[in-house]
């Protein structure tokens, strides 16, 4: 009969703790010992780190396990997590988005490009700025790129936060190509690995929470700007 | 807010090289942590086959392996903010979740008899070709070199534990030794591996 694990597991000598972390990572513990190790993991960051170290030591053993064709369980997973799978928009809708909203916005953006806006509402990224992505409604986003780490950062610096249930999504558009999602602009901004932003048009659209369900823009463009590199 | 993205919730700043082009799964996990559902779907496409392979290896049953696959991705969505690309590869993080889910299942049922374990081991042992191909990669080569310093029966016990999720009791039955002997064997083997692998 198993007993429930203690809320704060008693302290162990360091060698014992490390071996317990090893046994847990290896998988040999019985159900009761596993539950206790999991309680330790939640309560003790040093123990949690030891478990991660052991998992990393043993992980190469998985290298020889072949991948197996997996059924598409995403509809089930999404239904459990979100209540219903996200609707998928039709492909090609982005062309209308590009032709209509974006063109209008770029025409307007040219006019706002040189205006001095108020102080930023968020931190301005430290690496080299490459694009000021702006819109007629006062939405402004700063996009910066660090050449050394090849990391792109973006953050809203002006204009309102997205309404509840919506999010801002950043897209990169190469000439003649469909928009590629850079990512979602949460309150803390966005940071991604990015090889080269030269020549790209950046645009921000208003999407449902969680981002465009289709992988292409579905909502209105609220800001756009060219990379200046 | 006066700092760049914090460590919970929204996407974190990636340290130079971390989550970089050589670890697309890590990049996807960082986006999943920001709530990006398209990235979550891309993560499934990228990682599900390997994770399904791991689950099949441990459970030997498609239905159970599918349940573990579903649990793994559900947890990945909920806990993605805990993944730190600076600390390891995305796939390693996901496989650890899958293995834990599989072992939890195995521990809710009676131990597998030694004969059944023997059959599982025969399937899990990599074919010479597969192993040779994988050993080209540095990490597996290092670990295999260290495994070779162990007594072969103990190395087999370590492998059986890791690859099949065998419990101490199952290993003791399989190798026909008392439980405490198996505990001592494995603890000493783990200590030896730790020493061998330390830089």
**B104 and B158 part of one domain:** no
Helices B114-124 and B152-164 cross at an angle (nearest 10°) of 90
Domain boundary among A82, A114, A143: A82
**B86 and B133 part of one domain:** no
Inform me whether the C-beta atom of residue A165 falls under 8 Å from chain B C-beta atoms: no
**B46 and B7 part of one domain:** yes
CB B65 within 8 A of CB B59: yes
Task: Report the residue of chain A nearest B22, measured CA to CA.
Answer: A193
pLDDT tens digits along B46-64: 999 999 999 999 998 999 9
pLDDT confidence band for A163 (50 / 70 / 90): confident
Look up the CATH number of the domain holding residue B153.
1.10.10.10
Q: Does A69 sit within 8 Å of B13, measured CB to CB?
A: no
Looking at chain A, the whole-number percentage of residues with pLDDT higher than 90 is: 31
Across all residues in chain A, what is the average pLDDT?
79
User: Cα dist. B136→A65, A116, B94, B127, B196 in Å?
Assistant: 15, 57, 23, 15, 19
**B94 and B71 part of one domain:** yes
pLDDT confidence band for A144 (50 / 70 / 90): confident
What is the pLDDT, as a whole number, of residue B110? Answer: 86
What the block records as the tokens of A57 is: 């030591």
Residues 6 or more apart from A84 whose CB is under 8 A from it?
A: A78
**A137 and A207 part of one domain:** yes
Q: Does A188 sit within 8 Å of B36, measured CB to CB?
A: no
pLDDT tens digits along A13-69: 989 999 999 999 999 999 999 999 999 999 999 999 999 999 999 999 999 899 999
**B167 and B86 part of one domain:** no
Between A116 and A91, whose confidence is greater?
A91
**B128 and B157 part of one domain:** yes
Low-confidence winner among A35-44, A124-133, B44-53, B173-182 (lowest mean pLDDT): A124-133
**B120 and B102 part of one domain:** no
Mean pLDDT of the A213-227 span: 81
Residue of B1, B9, B11, B59 to mutate, interface with A, max A Cβ within 10 Å = B11
**A43 and A78 part of one domain:** yes
**B131 and B187 part of one domain:** yes
pLDDT tens digits along A59-71: 999 998 999 999 9
Looking at chain B, the whole-number percentage of residues with pLDDT higher than 70 is: 82
Q: A153 pLDDT exceeds 50?
A: yes
Count of domains for chain B: 2
**A66 and A123 part of one domain:** no
How many Å apart are CA A131 and CA A197, to the nearest integer?
A: 9
Residues 6 or more apart from A171 whose CB is under 8 A from it?
A: A179, A180, A181, A182, A202, A203, A204, A205, A217
Domain boundary among A82, A106, A121: A82
How many Å apart are CA B11 and CA B5, to the nearest integer?
A: 7
**B26 and B121 part of one domain:** no
Residue B83 to chain A, least CA–CA distance (Å): 11
Q: φ and ψ at A162, to 5 degrees?
A: -65, 150
How many Å apart are CA B89 and CA B22, to the nearest integer?
A: 9
What is the pLDDT, as a whole number, of residue A186? Answer: 83
How many Å apart are CA A155 and CA B141, to the nearest integer?
A: 43
A156 occurs within a structural domain: yes
Q: A147 pLDDT exceeds 50?
A: yes
**A211 and A170 part of one domain:** yes
**A205 and A103 part of one domain:** yes
**Environment class of residue A7 by beta-carbon count within 10 Å: exposed (0-12), middle (13-18) or buried (19+)?**
exposed
ipTM for the assembly: 0.86
Number of neighbours of residue A143 by Cβ within 10 angstroms: 28
A88 occurs within a structural domain: no
How many Å apart are CA A183 and CA B73, to the nearest integer?
A: 20
Domain boundary among B82, B109, B136: B109
Number of neighbours of residue A111 by Cβ within 10 angstroms: 10
Residues 6 or more apart from B59 whose CB is under 8 A from it?
A: B65, B68, B102, B105, B106
First to last CA, chain B: 40
**A69 and A109 part of one domain:** no
Q: Which residues in chain B are closer than 8 Å to A207, comparing Cβ atoms?
A: none
pTM of the model: 0.66
What is the pLDDT, as a whole number, of residue A229? Answer: 63
pLDDT confidence band for B111 (50 / 70 / 90): confident
**A109 and A44 part of one domain:** no
**A72 and A119 part of one domain:** no
Mean pLDDT of the B101-118 span: 88
Q: A119 pLDDT exceeds 60?
A: no
Question: Which residue range forms the structural domain that includes residue A15?
Answer: 1-82
Domain boundary among A37, A57, A82: A82
Across all residues in chain B, what is the average pLDDT?
85
Looking at chain A, the whole-number percentage of residues with pLDDT higher than 70 is: 76
Residue B163: closest CA among B43, B60, B67, B76: B60
**A28 and A138 part of one domain:** no
Q: How far is CA B20 from the centre of its chain?
A: 21
Q: Does A192 sit within 8 Å of B69, measured CB to CB?
A: no
A193 occurs within a structural domain: yes
Low-confidence winner among A150-154, B11-15, B173-177 (lowest mean pLDDT): B11-15
What is the pLDDT, as a whole number, of residue B199? Answer: 76
**B80 and B144 part of one domain:** no
Q: Does B161 sit within 8 Å of A27, measured CB to CB?
A: yes
Residue A143: closest CA among A161, A122, A164: A122
CB B64 within 8 A of CB B56: no
**B130 and B193 part of one domain:** yes
User: Cα dist. A148→A131, A157, B16, B86 in Å?
Assistant: 18, 24, 8, 16
What is the three-class DSSP state of A155? strand
Count of domains for chain A: 2
Domain boundary among B109, B135, B162: B109
What is the three-class DSSP state of A172? strand
Look up the CATH number of the domain holding residue B14.
1.10.1740.10
Q: How far is CA A222 from the centre of its chain?
A: 20
Question: Which residue range forms the structural domain that includes residue B5?
Answer: 1-109
Residue A51 to chain B, least CA–CA distance (Å): 10
Look up the CATH number of the domain holding residue A104.
2.60.40
**B14 and B105 part of one domain:** yes
- Dihedral of alpha carbons A153, A158, A163, A164, sign: positive
């Amino acid at each position: 009969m198993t007993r429930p694990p203690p809320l704060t597991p008693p302290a162990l000598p360091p060698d014992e703790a490390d071996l317990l972390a090893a046994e847990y990572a290896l998988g040999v513990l019985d159900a009761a010992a596993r539950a206790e190790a999991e309680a330790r993991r939640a309560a003790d960051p040093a123990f949690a780190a030891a478990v991660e170290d052991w998992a990393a030591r043993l992980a190469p053993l998985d290298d020889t396990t072949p991948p197996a064709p997996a059924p598409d369980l995403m509809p089930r997973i999404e239904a459990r997590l979100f209540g219903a799978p996200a609707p998928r928009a039709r492909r090609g809708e982005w062309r209308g988005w590009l032709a209509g909203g974006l063109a209008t916005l770029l025409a307007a953006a040219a006019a706002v490009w040189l205006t001095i806006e108020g102080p930023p509402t968020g931190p301005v990224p430290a690496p080299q700025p490459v694009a000021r992505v702006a819109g007629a409604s006062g939405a402004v986003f700063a996009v910066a790129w660090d050449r050394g780490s090849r990391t792109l950062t973006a953050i809203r610096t002006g204009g309102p936060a997205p309404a509840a249930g919506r999010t801002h999504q950043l897209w990169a558009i190469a000439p003649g190509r469909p928009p590629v999602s850079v990512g979602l602009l949460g309150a803390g901004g966005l940071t991604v690995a990015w090889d080269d932003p030269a020549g790209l048009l950046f645009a921000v659209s208003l999407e449902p929470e969680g981002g465009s369900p289709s992988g292409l823009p579905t909502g209105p463009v609220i800001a756009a700007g060219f990379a200046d590199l | 807010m006066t700092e760049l993205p914090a460590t919970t919730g929204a996407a974190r700043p990636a340290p130079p090289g971390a989550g970089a082009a050589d670890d697309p799964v890590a990049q996807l996990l960082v986006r999943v942590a920001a709530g990006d559902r398209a990235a979550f779907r891309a993560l499934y496409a990228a990682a599900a086959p390997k994770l399904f392979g791991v689950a099949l290896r441990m459970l030997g049953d498609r239905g159970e392996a599918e349940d573990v696959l579903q649990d793994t991705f559900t947890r990945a969505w909920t806990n993605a903010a805990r993944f730190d690309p600076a600390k390891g590869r995305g796939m390693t993080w996901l496989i650890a979740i899958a293995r834990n889910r599989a072992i939890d299942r195995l521990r809710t049922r009676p131990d597998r008899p030694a004969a059944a374990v023997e059959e599982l081991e025969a399937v899990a042992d990599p074919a010479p070709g597969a192993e040779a191909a994988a050993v080209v990669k540095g990490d597996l080569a290092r670990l295999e070199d260290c495994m070779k310093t162990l007594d072969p029966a103990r190395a087999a016990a370590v492998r059986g534990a890791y690859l099949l999720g065998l419990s101490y009791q199952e290993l003791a039955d399989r190798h026909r030794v008392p439980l405490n002997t198996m505990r001592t064997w494995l603890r000493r083997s783990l200590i030896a591996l730790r020493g061998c692998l330390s830089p």
